[in-house]
Amino acid sequence: MKARFLDPSELARAYRDPLSLVSLAVDLMPVIAVFAFGWGATPLVALYWLENLVIGAFTILRMIAISAWIRSFGIFAMALFLMIFFLFHYGMFCFVHGAFIRALASGGGSDGFELLSLIPWALGTAPEMVWFVAAIIGVSALYYVFDFLLGDDYKISTLTTEMFSPYGRVMTLHTGILLGAGVAFSLNEPLAGVLLLIFIRVVFGIALTVLRQRKRGARPGSPGAPA
Tens digit of each residue's pLDDT (9 = 90 or more) over 167-185 = 877 777 667 766 766 666 6
Contact 25, 224 (CB under 8 A): no
Query: What number is the average pLDDT over the span 82-104?
Result: 89
| Residues 81, 150: Cα–Cα separation, whole Å | 26
pLDDT at 115 over 70: no
| Residues 163, 85: Cα–Cα separation, whole Å | 9
pLDDT at 75 over 90: no
pTM: 0.87
Q: Which residues are CB-contacts of 148 (< 8 A; sequence separation ≥ 6)?
A: 62, 65, 154, 157
pLDDT at 62 over 90: yes
Per residue in 140-157, pLDDT tens?
Answer: 999 999 999 998 898 888
CA angle, corner 207, sides to 219 and 60, nearest 5?
70
Side-chain half-sphere CA neighbours of 100 within 13 A: 13
Phi, psi torsion values for 119, nearest 5 degrees:
-65, -55
**pLDDT class of 225 with cuts at 50, 70, 90:** very low
